[in-house]
Amino acid sequence: MSALTPKTFTSQVKTINTFGQGLSNDIIKNEPMFFNSGFDFAMEKGGDITRAFLNALPLDWKRSGMVFDSRVHMLMPGWYPAIPGWHHDDVPRVGDGQPDYEKPAYRSEHILGLVNAAVCPTHFAVGICTMPAVRDGEVIYKYWDKEVSKLIADERMYIEVSKDRTMYYFDCDTFHTGTKAVANGWRWFGRVSRYTDRVKSITNEIRVNAQVYLEFPTQGW
């Protein structure tokens, strides 16, 4: 089961706060990275950027069950910090590994923030959009990525470019994508999620590796 009938989404994003305004980009490279972390663990083990981000969350997010992930990337022009393509975050996956749009078990919500966003801003696609049915066993976002791009080209959706040190609230209906870095520099990405099964299995992991993705792997030598 995946998306056996066309699906209509209200893809939207809301700016809710800023964070870390007084912090220098120079400290990004020293920031610990977290995966599947709870609030308290990240507050205790995190650096100034992590704490600034978590402190700036709305009170109800701090109090409810949530999970935090962050990444630090050293980027060069043309590199991607994430696999590109329009997608939704944390739609529950089912048997075939594809997101379940027929009967999702939960509807996740997220808050995302970047430090030094200009190097490689996340893009959000805004608008009401209908995505085509996708046959069972097919990769949904392969088709929907093309559809969102087409709607943007036709000016039926528009792109909101994430700004530096700004917190964006969105949900599992919000199409977004990582982009190709346009400059050299360090980039911090942080995201908290709630109303997801992930909060039931917090593992408080610190990560020491972050990969990038290249369009043309042999370029750059």
Q: How far is the CB of 55 from Fe ion (least distance, A)?
A: 23
Cβ-based nearer residue to Fe ion, 23 or 115: 115
Euclidean distance between CA atoms 27 and 20, whole angstroms: 11
| Burial (CB count within 10 angstroms: exposed 0-12, middle 13-18, buried 19+), residue 218 | exposed
Cβ-based nearer residue to Fe ion, 39 or 175: 175
Euclidean distance between CA atoms 64 and 62, whole angstroms: 6
Window 87 to 116, contacts with Fe ion (CB under 5 A): 89
Q: How far is the CB of 143 from Fe ion (least distance, A)?
A: 17
Q: How far is the CB of 172 from Fe ion (least distance, A)?
A: 10
Window 61 to 90, contacts with Fe ion (CB under 5 A): 89
Cβ-based nearer residue to Fe ion, 47 or 84: 84
Residue number of the CB atom closest to Fe ion: 89
Nearest to 109 by CA among 35, 199, 201, 221: 199
Q: How far is the CB of 87 from Fe ion (least distance, A)?
A: 6
Window 15 to 44, contacts with Fe ion (CB under 5 A): none
Q: How far apart are the first and last CA of the chain?
A: 44
Nearest to 166 by CA among 100, 106, 107, 115: 115
- x/- mask, Fe ion, residues 137-176, rule CB under 5 A, reads ----------------------------------------
Nearest to 172 by CA among 7, 4, 52, 5: 7
Q: How far is the CB of 138 from Fe ion (least distance, A)?
A: 20
Q: How many chain residues are in contact with Fe ion, going by CB under 5 A?
A: 1
Euclidean distance between CA atoms 110 and 131, whole angstroms: 22
Name the site residues for Fe ion (rule: CB under 5 A): 89
